[in-house]
Amino acid sequence: MIIIAIIQIILLIYLGFASLYIFIFGTASLFPTKTKEPTTSIERKYAVLIPGYKEDNVIIDVAKDAINQDYPSDMYDVVVIADSFKKETLESLRLLPITVIEVSFDLSTKSKALNVAMDQLTDNYDVAVVLDADNLMEPGFLNKINVAFNNEFIAVQGHRVAKNYNTPFAILDAISEEVNNMIFRKGHRVLGLSAALIGSGMAMDYDYFKKMMKSIKAVGGFDKEIELQMLKEGISIEFLNDAYVYDEKVQKAEVFSNQRRRWLSAQFHYFSMDFLNSLKHLILYGNVDYFDKAIQFIQPPRVMLLGLLVLINIFSLILNPISWIYIWLGVLAICVLAFLFTTPLKFYNFKTLKAVLTLPKAFVLMAMSLLSIKGANKKFIHTEHGT
């Protein structure tokens, strides 16, 4: 009984903190972020960088869409960084008013592709925008990003949303994206902390980004490495809730599992690398942003958190005294409320209800991913799009 009590206390501290964390920032996301008038009205020049690996299915449509921004056409260039594309795809891309840079590596990574591209491009740019090869920007995206840079930010994360809801897993992935947007981006900005980067739909001062990318060696989770470096330097990251980038959500269970395995591996890797250093920066320099980011990396995935709390509550009703039952029910309630606060109203429909029925499968896949995360951040795991 003592051993069970100790295990429960450890789980309560970990899962209770995780639930309270998402509840606080989820509640904060219900409030508007502070906005101010731009200090300047400069039109900056943008390099829209689109790295892709074997993305023949989607890249031509993405490139065509990217050149149709409501922004002066001479003030932005679309650059497709083509890794292992088919010959006919490259020929079609070169017919468009874009720049195509071919790359090839023994071990492909987004950071390598971006570094090669920026080495070949001129430095005649003010801002770098990074997209995934399946991303579509809303027509006014660059205009909204430009306003943020006129407000003297040097790093901005756009609002990435789903462009497909065609399978239960796509719907769950779309909801997960929005929950994360509200908790780790909007909620953080409302409370004065930096927004989390996602790896696409993000913009940075070009010179700063080019210089920083030289030191990025990550295979998986390159956005995490970028973010940690920026927060360590005290640079604040803005989130634009109304600047949309449409992203293809995973449609199959195996893709969901592979993607989460890569993400989990990157999170645990960077937590182990940066936690003690972030604690030092918190104590010595008051750098809350850096410490908060390290804490985020040890947070359980939202599906895992909910699944574990449901299972614990079931066992608690059978095995625990009444006091423990109330405690675990309270933690579960806080977790569920956080999800309710951060899930957009458009998802409250019958299709979502059907998708929720696949949550147990998603929980099992996530648990299996945890068992095989070792070294996953050192391998390139390609997520195929347009299938």
Question: What is the structure's pLDDT at 341?
Answer: 96
Please check whether residue 383 lies inside any domain of the structure.
Answer: no
Question: What is the structure's pLDDT at 3?
Answer: 85
365 and 283 in a common domain: yes
101 and 10 in a common domain: no
233 and 98 in a common domain: yes
292 and 237 in a common domain: no
Domain end marker among 250, 271, 305: 250
What average pLDDT does range 309-324 have in this prediction? 90
Q: pTM of the entire structure?
A: 0.90
162 and 199 in a common domain: yes
Mean pLDDT of the chain: 90
Quote the number of domains for the chain.
2
Domain end marker among 204, 219, 250: 250
Please check whether residue 374 lies inside any domain of the structure.
Answer: yes
318 and 374 in a common domain: yes
Lowest mean pLDDT among 6-20, 154-168, 214-228, 308-322: 214-228
Please check whether residue 64 lies inside any domain of the structure.
Answer: yes
Please check whether residue 58 lies inside any domain of the structure.
Answer: yes
> To the nearest whole percent, how much of the chain has pLDDT over 90?
69
Q: How confident is the model at residue 258 (pLDDT cuts 50, 70, 90)?
A: low
373 and 300 in a common domain: yes
Q: Which residue, among 306, 310, 303, 313, has the nearest Cα to 366 in the 3D structure? A: 303
Please check whether residue 386 lies inside any domain of the structure.
Answer: no
Please check whether residue 41 lies inside any domain of the structure.
Answer: no
305 and 208 in a common domain: no
Give the full edge-to-edge strand order of the sheet including 46-53: 99-103, 76-83, 46-53, 127-130, 202-205, 155-162, 238-247, 136-137
pLDDT per position as a tens digit, 335-356 = 999 999 999 999 999 999 999 9
pLDDT per position as a tens digit, 208-230 = 999 999 988 776 678 888 999 99
Structural domain of 296: 2-31+259-378
Cβ 338 vs Cβ 227: under 8 Å: no
Q: Tell me which DSSP letter residue 186 carries.
A: I
User: pLDDT higher for 382 or 184?
Assistant: 184
Please check whether residue 387 lies inside any domain of the structure.
Answer: no
pLDDT per position as a tens digit, 8-65 = 999 999 999 999 999 999 999 999 988 777 777 899 999 999 999 999 999 999 999 9
Please check whether residue 141 lies inside any domain of the structure.
Answer: yes
Question: What is the structure's pLDDT at 91?
Answer: 96
Q: How far is Cα 299 from Cα 218, in angstroms, rounded to an integer?
A: 21
Residue 374 clears pLDDT 90, i.e. is over it: no
What average pLDDT does range 148-162 have in this prediction? 95
CA 371 to the chain's CA centroid? 22
- CATH code for the domain of 152: 3.90.550.10
What average pLDDT does range 94-100 have in this prediction? 97
Residue 245 clears pLDDT 90, i.e. is over it: yes
Domain end marker among 250, 272, 303: 250
Question: What is the structure's pLDDT at 255?
Answer: 66
239 and 104 in a common domain: yes
